[in-house]
Amino acid sequence: MDLSGKVAIVTGSSSGVGRATAEQLATLGARVVVNFAHSEDAARATVEAITSTGGVAQAVRANVARDVECRALVQAAIDAYGRLDVLVNNAGTTHFIAHGDLDAVTDEVFDDIMAVNVKGTFFCTRAAAPHLRASGAGAVVNVASVAGIAGGGSSIPYGASKAAIINMTKVLARVLGPEVRVNCVAPGFIDGSWLATGLGERYEAARAAAAAAAPLGAVCTPETVADSIVALVRDHTFVTGQTIVVNGGAAVG
Are 225 and 185 in contact, with CB atoms under 8 Å apart? Answer: yes
Bridging pattern class, strands 31-36 and 56-61: parallel
Q: Which helix (H) or strand (E) holds 60?
A: strand 56-61
SS3 per residue for 57-80: EEEEECCCCCHHHHHHHHHHHHHH
**Phi then psi for 246, rounded to 5 degrees?**
-120, 90
Q: What share of the chain is helix, strand, coil (3-state, %, to 5)?
A: 50, 15, 35
d(CA 26, CA 20): 10
Please confirm, yes or no, whether 158 is among the known catalytic residues: yes
d(CA 237, CA 124): 21
- Annotated catalytic residue, options 36, 81, 122, 158: 158
d(CA 14, CA 23): 11
Could you give the C-alpha distances from 241 to 45, 137, 173, 174, 247, in angstroms and in order? Answer: 33, 15, 5, 7, 19
Are 125 and 231 in contact, with CB atoms under 8 Å apart? Answer: no
Are 217 and 186 in contact, with CB atoms under 8 Å apart? Answer: no
Q: What residues act catalytically?
A: 158
